[in-house]
Amino acid sequence: MTKSNIRKIALLTGGGDCPGLNAAIRAVVQSAIIEYDVSVVGIPDGFKGLLENKFVPLDLNNTTGIFSKGGTMLGSSNIDTPFAVPILKNGKKVFEDRSDEAVRNLKTERVDAMIVVGGDGTQSIAHGMAEKGVNIVGIPKTIDNDLAGTEFTIGFFTAVSTAVDALDKLHSTAESHHRVMVVEVMGRNAGWIALFAGLGGDADVILIPEIAFDIKKVASFLSDLHHTRKRYSIVVVAEGAKPLGGDVTVARVIEDSPEKIRLGGIGHRVAGELEQLTGRETRAIVLGHLLRGGSPVGFDRILASRFGVAAVKALMDGHFDSMVAYKNDQVELVPLNTGAGKNRFISPDSQFLQAGRHRGIHFGD
Ligand code: F6P
């Protein structure tokens, strides 16, 4: 017996893609159809597709074989929101609220409820839709792992695994040439990917946005290290890392995007400064979108399964305007606005950070 009368669920993936989205789609479809006999339609390209009134039936057949594939079979968008659609008015770009139209499209399609797989931006839109009366549950995903309310998000561990593989390869070439190798990773304004990649990939220095770095301290640490213990070193830099008293390095500004700033470039900056200060040959590499690609690792597939199943159950039990979340090995429900537009950062007493400090990894402070 279920508390709600849901017969049809619409599903979309929003924001930047990540490995594990297809696994979540498959889990939602399986659970809805097999456990509850409820039908599912997918909305292509995130909230853009909803405004374009696009719906594609999803079933056990057309979601077969997607579980282990990266990306999302539905497509995604990290610039579209029905609450602010850019249009040209008298030659000037203005933003129009078309959320009522989005709600109408769901009604016309006879959709009873929605599941939205996304990061903070997408969950924020989802919460806005919930406030307009849409029965909605969010599933957290992002390689950045920076969504408030959940300890882990779908995609994060695959990104970490890709970064660790890259670091393993960079160790050998850095060692052969006695170089400093600076590796820039994504993560926006949180250092989760950098911290976990650096811990797993045996980095000597990890620079994260949560700790402003003093480049002179980093250089002197590396000089000591090279004189006493190692002839090469690995520095992991989060794209959002900031020098003491300085600001983030911006790669581009996307005016139509709800989040306009795209970070990038700090890796090359740090490498240049370290080369000058240490006199050691230094190279920089940016892992960038590589971290968003590939097949999801086991943990992400299992997390996607648990989140997908829990999201369908939440809808069927009538727990709308909520988000599934991972806490202490349990999947729980939190209010959707816990994750909506809100981020989670590394705290100074984080056990992960402390593990790095106890291993002698330098954090630039
Ligand atoms: O949020 C995921 C993410 O990959 C961030 O780590 C990165 O800053 C951003 O998206 C890149 O966005 P885009 O794909 O628009 O370049």
Q: Supply the pTM of this predicted model.
A: 0.97
Sequence spans of domains, the chain: 3-154+296-338, 159-292
Which residue is closest in CA terms to ligand 1's atom 3?
16
Give per-residue pLDDT as tens, 329-349: 999 999 999 988 899 999 999
18 contact partners, CB below 8 Å, separation of at least 6 = 141, 142, 143, 154, 155, 156, 158, 159, 292
**Residue 187 phi, psi dihedral angles, 5° rounding:** 140, 0
Q: Find out whether 222 and 278 touch, Cβ atoms under 8 Å.
A: yes
Q: Find out whether 38 and 6 touch, Cβ atoms under 8 Å.
A: yes
CA 277 to chain centre: 34
Q: Over 90: is that where the pLDDT of 360 sits?
A: yes
User: Given the DSSP bridges, would you call strands 85-89 and 261-263 parallel, antiparallel or unpaired?
Assistant: unpaired
- The CATH class given to the 3-154+296-338 domain equals alpha beta
| CA–centroid distance, residue 289 to ligand 1 (Å) | 8
Task: Please report the pLDDT score of residue 259 as a whole number.
Answer: 87
Task: Please report the pLDDT score of residue 26 as a whole number.
Answer: 98
Kindly name the residue from 17, 112, 144, 204 that is annotated as catalytic: 144
Residues with CB under 6 Å of ligand 1 are: 16, 78, 119, 142-144, 186-188, 239, 262-263, 292
Structure tokens at 145: 């792992």
Q: How confident is the model at residue 181 (pLDDT cuts 50, 70, 90)?
A: very high
For the beta carbon of residue 261, count every other beta carbon within 10 angstroms.
15
> DSSP class of residue 291?
G
Give per-residue pLDDT as tens, 262-317: 999 999 999 999 999 999 999 999 999 999 999 999 999 999 999 999 999 999 99
Q: Exposed, middle or buried: residue 227 (CB in 10 Å: 0-12, 13-18, 19+)?
A: exposed
Query: Count of H helices and E strands in the chain?
Result: 12, 15
Q: Over 60: is that where the pLDDT of 1 sits?
A: no
Q: Over 60: is that where the pLDDT of 84 sits?
A: yes
Q: Exposed, middle or buried: residue 95 (CB in 10 Å: 0-12, 13-18, 19+)?
A: middle
Q: Exposed, middle or buried: residue 121 (CB in 10 Å: 0-12, 13-18, 19+)?
A: buried
Q: Find out whether 42 and 74 touch, Cβ atoms under 8 Å.
A: yes
User: Given the DSSP bridges, would you call strands 85-89 and 92-96 parallel, antiparallel or unpaired?
Assistant: antiparallel
Task: Please report the pLDDT score of residue 255 as a whole number.
Answer: 87
For the beta carbon of residue 66, count every other beta carbon within 10 angstroms.
18
Substitution site in 18, 72, 78 for ligand 1 pocket (most atoms within 8 Å of beta carbon) = 78
Give per-residue pLDDT as tens, 28-69: 999 999 999 999 999 999 999 999 999 999 999 999 999 999
Average pLDDT over all residues of the chain = 97
Q: Which atom from ligand 1 is nearest to the alpha carbon of 257?
A: 15
Of 103, 148, 110, 104, the closest CA to residue 126 belongs to 103
Q: Which atom from ligand 1 is nearest to the alpha carbon of 289?
A: 4
Give per-residue pLDDT as tens, 6-19: 999 999 999 999 99
Q: What is the CATH number of domain 159-292?
A: 3.40.50.460
Percent of the chain whose predicted confidence (pLDDT) is above 70: 99
Longest dimension (CA), the chain: 70
Q: Over 90: is that where the pLDDT of 149 sits?
A: yes
Task: Please report the pLDDT score of residue 256 as a whole number.
Answer: 83
Q: Over 60: is that where the pLDDT of 119 sits?
A: yes
Identity of the residue numbered 193: I
Of 11, 48, 353, the closest CA to residue 210 belongs to 353
3-154+296-338 shares its CATH topology with 159-292: yes
Give per-residue pLDDT as tens, 74-83: 999 999 999 9
